[in-house]
């Protein structure tokens, strides 16, 4: 099965930049979006053959996630069931006979780490959500997780130590998540590959110079990592400051 994840940084904007052509060309079984930035009724996507699941933020033009899939799930859960974490439309969980699929848009710690306390609380709650699912069946997790885990995951690690997305706190929580039974699928296949990024600032010709960060992930439960066929990044696909990431895995 083929999975794609993409932070589109505004779905209505990217639809005007060829999103549907990209969507059909990628032809995924599961296409997960983050940062859709819209409310219910603000877009009408006709995607024949796909079920659509949307999770909206209460704040207009902010956050939001969606999953488009060829496979009808057994059940659908939105958010985490925790009031303080359920107003920003950051998580969708689909259940299938062999696995759970979770699409997430992790909160940004923001400049000066002014939202780091909330981010730590989110990371703990999200990890507990995944651990609970993993007790029942394997889990595939994808999305913009707003952290570059290791120095290899961004172009200029020394200059970014302590910045949002590369703070010790955020990196530590990601390590804790992996240690609780999850595999970073891309690093599992390519442990030493440098220059593989999924996000570039709009400033300073960052994308042209590949001055990027790898902050978009597919994770899977450790016990199914040997089922991974491919994990990859699509930097050639433009339209957002992020590019799509992909996973092929069999069950």
pLDDT digits (tens, 9 = 90+) for 67-122: 999 999 999 999 999 999 999 999 999 999 999 999 999 999 999 999 999 999 99
Compute the average pLDDT of residues 47-76. Answer: 97
pLDDT of amino acid 84:
95
Token output for 175 = 């390590």
The CA-CA-CA angle for residues 147, 170, 130, to 5°, reads: 80
Residues 6+ apart with CB under 8 A from 74: 95, 96, 97
Place 241 in a pLDDT band, splitting at 50, 70 and 90: very high
Place 135 in a pLDDT band, splitting at 50, 70 and 90: very high
Query: Is 111 among the catalytic positions?
Result: no
Give me the chain's average pLDDT, please. 97
Compute the average pLDDT of residues 44-71. Answer: 97
In degrees and rounded to multiples of 5, residue 230 shows phi and psi of -145, 150
User: Of 181, 183, 144, 190, which is closest to residue 164 (Cα–Cα)?
Assistant: 144
User: Of 159, 139, 138, 136, which is closest to residue 206 (Cα–Cα)?
Assistant: 159
Residues 6+ apart with CB under 8 A from 160: 148, 154, 166
Give the span between the Cα atoms of 62 and 172, in whole angstroms.
Answer: 27
Residues 6+ apart with CB under 8 A from 92: 32, 53, 55, 65, 66, 67, 76, 77, 78, 102, 103
In the set 105, 184, 197, 216, the catalytic residue is 105
Query: Is 21 among the catalytic positions?
Result: no
Give the span between the Cα atoms of 9 and 1, in whole angstroms.
Answer: 26
pTM of the complete model beyond 0.95: yes
In the set 56, 100, 123, 144, the catalytic residue is 144
pLDDT digit string, tens, across residues 139-197: 999 999 999 999 999 999 999 999 999 999 999 999 999 999 999 999 999 999 999 99
Contacts of residues 108-112 at CB distance under 8 Å and 24 or more positions apart, as own/partner, are 108/146, 108/164, 108/165, 109/146, 109/164, 109/165, 109/167, 109/169, 109/170, 110/164, 111/164
pLDDT of amino acid 16:
95
Cβ atoms 155, 211 nearer than 8 A:
yes
In degrees and rounded to multiples of 5, residue 30 shows phi and psi of -135, 125
Place 38 in a pLDDT band, splitting at 50, 70 and 90: very high
pLDDT of amino acid 44:
92
Buried b (16+ CB within 10 A) or exposed e, 92-102: bbbbbeebbbb
Place 52 in a pLDDT band, splitting at 50, 70 and 90: very high
């Amino acid at each position: 099965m083929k999975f794609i994840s993409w932070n589109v940084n505004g779905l209505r904007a990217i639809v005007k930049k060829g999103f549907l052509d990209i969507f059909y060309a990628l032809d995924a079984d599961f296409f997960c979006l983050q940062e859709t930035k819209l409310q219910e009724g603000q877009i009408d996507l006709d995607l024949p053959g796909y079920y659509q699941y949307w999770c909206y933020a209460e704040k207009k033009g902010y956050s939001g996630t969606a999953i488009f899939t060829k496979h009808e799930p057994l059940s659908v859960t939105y958010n985490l069931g925790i009031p303080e974490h359920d107003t920003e439309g950051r998580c969708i969980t689909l259940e299938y006979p062999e696995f759970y699929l979770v699409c997430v848009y992790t909160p940004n710690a923001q400049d000066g780490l002014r939202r780091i306390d909330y981010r730590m609380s989110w990371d703990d709650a999200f990890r507990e959500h995944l651990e609970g699912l993993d007790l029942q069946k394997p889990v595939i997790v994808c999305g913009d997780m707003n952290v570059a885990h290791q120095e290899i995951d961004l172009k200029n690690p020394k200059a970014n130590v302590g910045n949002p997305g590369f703070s010790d706190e955020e990196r530590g929580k990601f390590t804790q998540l992996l240690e609780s039974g999850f595999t970073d699928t891309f690093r599992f296949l390519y442990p030493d590959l440098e220059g593989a990024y999924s996000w570039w600032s709009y400033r300073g010709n960052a994308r042209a110079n590949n001055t990027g960060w790898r902050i978009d992930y597919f994770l899977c439960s450790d016990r199914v990592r040997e089922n991974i066929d491919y994990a990859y990044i699509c930097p050639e696909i433009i339209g957002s400051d992020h590019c799509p990431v992909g996973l092929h895995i069999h069950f």
